[in-house]
Chain A
Amino acid sequence: MTTDSTMQATRTVVLPDAARQREIGPRIRLTGWRGSRLRSVLKHAALILAAIVMIYPLLWMVVSSLRPNDLIFRQPGLWLSTLEFDNYVNGWNALTYPFSQYLLNSAIVVIGAILGNLISCSLAAYAFARLRFRGRRLWFAVMLLTVMLPFHVVVVPQYILFSQLGWVNTFLPLIIPKFLATDAFFVFLMVQFIRGIPRELDEAARIDGCGKLRTFYHVILPLMVPALATTAIFTFIWTWNDFFTALIYLTSPDMLTVPLALRVFIDSTGGSDWGAMFAMSVVSLLPIFLAFLLGQRFLVKGIATTGLK
């Protein structure tokens, strides 16, 4: 985990906008009880309590997945008397296909979605941030509006369209739209980022004889790696979690993604085999958790900047 000072340092290096941030003076302790030791202790106590309450259900789920079923209903604590992996074995093989099949399906969809978003959103963002063209303001406004548009208003005709193309029960309806920059949120995020990159670099490239495409590829793209990383990680987590779209398009047992498999699991056991269900839940959350650990810096920065600049 990075310390806050390194966070600050990286921010200035990778985020050109940060250079323009308002100069903030040295920290002076305010008078009164604000600076007092008691207050600091109370604050940490409150925060630790909040953190425990927040994280307790997750820890309990992990612990329960390692317990025999009959104990789950009697132990709210986190201690383990025995360590059993039966739930993982049972859960892994509970459905028609082993759980690895569903993990693989999810991985295919996620990788496709990440590639799609990275390519299409960065292209569009470059045009909006750097190029002058007729209708720029109008298209930009349309793009911002689609960020706020509820997905459900297009879902029925999209379903009809994709089913007529014969794409139901394939991964295409989950992947192809990403190659068409339908996650406009990321276009917006990247536009904001590119605006922080000095224009002088583009001009230097132009003088050196670079066309737009080369400028984009050799100048802008390498500089926007933090924005691309943010997009990749958010796409990973949101696509991995995506339930609604998968529920509509993927119905045959060998095509299920992880969230769908968990849902089938609940239905097939009538919600009684909690141990195995928790075990597979832990398995399904593990990739998100890893993405979170590896990409925390980008996640925090990405979400913080969308609300600000």
Chain B
Amino acid sequence: MSALKELTEVRRPRGAPRVRERNPDNKAAYLFLAPWLVGLFVITLGPMLASLVLSFTDYNLLQPPEWIGLENFERMAGDPRLWASLRVTFVYVVVSVPVQLAVALAVALLLDRGMRGLPFYRSVLYLPSLLGASVAIAVLWRQMFGADGLVNQVLGMLGFTDLPSWISNPDTALSTLILLHVWTFGSPMIIFLAGLRQIPRQYYEAAALDGAGRVTRFVRITLPLLSPIIFFNLVLQIIGAFQSFTQAFIVSGGTGGPADSTLFFTLYLYQRGFGQFDMGYASAMAWLLVVIIAAFTAVNFLFARWWVFYDD
């Protein structure tokens, strides 16, 4: 059973009889679940509710919260930096996730089962995705795409002159962060590799006997059988990309600049909440993020029925 089916089918199938369980382990179960339940209510659900309430208040941590109704949301509608951060985040998610997944799939396809050197390639290509979220790599990126950085040194050797500083140019700064995200294609690649292994080779052999070419075999066998995994990667990567923070913070020095071109939504939320202690506004922003992510996820699930194919 795929993890994703698990996510979609947590409820009892329609029409299935409700089974009264004999000898339930209620007491033991809730003892085992106790830490998780405390965490759920104290660290997750409680704060969620609190942040919903706070989003209708003006609160700076010092004075008690003051109820202001929908004012935070009205202010958000007229806040150009908020719109800028939304645009930046949308572009980042919509460009970097599909490109990253396409690269991950392409490389996974190159890595055949049983090929020579597979563990080596897999390790080298996977490593960046473990390091990618670190401050150290963001520091490296800052240097690489700076005026005298590695990228311009290489381009200079190839004869290019008058090279810009990629991170201080509003037109190119976001692209460098997208490139950083694509660079971390290793973890979806590993999931694709595992998925490719699950496809029985007989399918390909039968198709080859019937005269199907490589492209046909890819489109008719690989893609459909891999579609649940593509979907799984897509959903999780989108949710993850919406929450990117460290890279933009370090590369822009915490400003989201130049000209707000790398002002990720979470970065703006941080500035509002923990820079200016505008906690009510930050809570309202957080709920907007929840709504946006939920909407993206829902649309994903909605479209899934047209292209995601379940074998079992």
Q: Which residue of B lies closest to A244 (CB)?
A: B245
Majority SS of interface residues in chain A?
helix
Q: Give the CA-CA distance A47 to B189 in the complex, in Å.
A: 13
Query: How many cross-chain pairs have Cβ atoms below 8 Å apart between A and B?
Result: 317
Selecting from A80-88, A157-165, A224-232, the interface stretch reads A157-165
Determine if B40 and A132 form an interchain contact, defined as CB atoms under 8 angstroms apart.
no
Judged by a CB distance under 8 angstroms, whether B204 is at the interface is yes
Determine if B134 and A284 form an interchain contact, defined as CB atoms under 8 angstroms apart.
yes
Residues of B within 8 A of A244 (CB): 245-246, 266, 270
Determine if B195 and A180 form an interchain contact, defined as CB atoms under 8 angstroms apart.
no
A55, A143, A181, A262: the one contacting B127 at CB < 8 Å is A55
Selecting from B76-84, B147-155, B170-178, the interface stretch reads B147-155
Q: Give the CA-CA distance A216 to B28 in the complex, in Å.
A: 11
Judged by a CB distance under 8 angstroms, whether B128 is at the interface is yes
Interface centre among B33, B111, B200, B286 (most CB of A within 10 A): B33
Contact string against B for A residues 142-183, beta-carbon threshold 8 Å, 1 for contact and 0 otherwise: 111010111111111111110100000000000001011110
Contact string against B for A residues 174-210, beta-carbon threshold 8 Å, 1 for contact and 0 otherwise: 0001011110100110001000000000000000000
A139, A188, A266, A284: the one contacting B250 at CB < 8 Å is A266
B30, B113, B150, B266: the one contacting A76 at CB < 8 Å is B150
Among A44-58, those with CB < 8 Å from B are 44, 46-47, 50-51, 54-55, 57-58
Q: Which residue of A lies closest to B149 (CB)?
A: A73
Determine if B6 and A144 form an interchain contact, defined as CB atoms under 8 angstroms apart.
yes
Residues of A within 8 A of B135 (CB): 241, 243, 258-259, 262-263, 281, 284
**A160-B50, A284-B135 known; A155-B119 Cβ under 8 A:** no
Contact string against A for B residues 1-25, beta-carbon threshold 8 Å, 1 for contact and 0 otherwise: 1110011001110000000010111
Contact string against A for B residues 22-52, beta-carbon threshold 8 Å, 1 for contact and 0 otherwise: 0111101110111111111011101110110
Determine if A141 and B10 form an interchain contact, defined as CB atoms under 8 angstroms apart.
yes
Determine if A177 and B142 form an interchain contact, defined as CB atoms under 8 angstroms apart.
no
Residues of A within 8 A of B197 (CB): 24
Residues of A within 8 A of B73 (CB): none
Q: Give the CA-CA distance A122 to B217 in the complex, in Å.
A: 42
Determine if B136 and A146 form an interchain contact, defined as CB atoms under 8 angstroms apart.
no
Q: Give the CA-CA distance A153 to B126 in the complex, in Å.
A: 30
Residues of B within 8 A of A119 (CB): 35
Determine if B11 and A150 form an interchain contact, defined as CB atoms under 8 angstroms apart.
no
Count of residues in B whose CB is under 8 Å from the partner chain: 114
Determine if B289 and A153 form an interchain contact, defined as CB atoms under 8 angstroms apart.
yes
Determine if A152 and B150 form an interchain contact, defined as CB atoms under 8 angstroms apart.
no
Determine if A131 and B29 form an interchain contact, defined as CB atoms under 8 angstroms apart.
yes
B107, B125, B201, B246: the one contacting A24 at CB < 8 Å is B201
Determine if B114 and A4 form an interchain contact, defined as CB atoms under 8 angstroms apart.
yes
Among A125-139, those with CB < 8 Å from B are 126-128, 131-134, 136-137, 139
Residues of B within 8 A of A296 (CB): 123
Residues of B within 8 A of A51 (CB): 121, 124-125
B111, B140, B243: the one contacting A151 at CB < 8 Å is B243
**A148-B239, A212-B32, A304-B193 known; A73-B43 Cβ under 8 A:** no
Judged by a CB distance under 8 angstroms, whether A221 is at the interface is no
What are 24 A-B interface contacts by the 8 Å CB criterion? A4-B119, A24-B197, A30-B204, A54-B125, A74-B153, A120-B39, A128-B33, A132-B25, A137-B11, A144-B6, A155-B47, A155-B273, A156-B282, A157-B47, A157-B54, A180-B38, A259-B136, A263-B249, A271-B253, A277-B139, A282-B136, A292-B123, A292-B127, A309-B3
User: Knowing that A1-B119, A150-B289 are A-B contacts, what are 7 other residue pairs whose CB atoms are under 8 Å apart, sorted by A's residue number?
Assistant: A32-B208, A131-B25, A153-B287, A157-B50, A241-B246, A277-B143, A288-B131
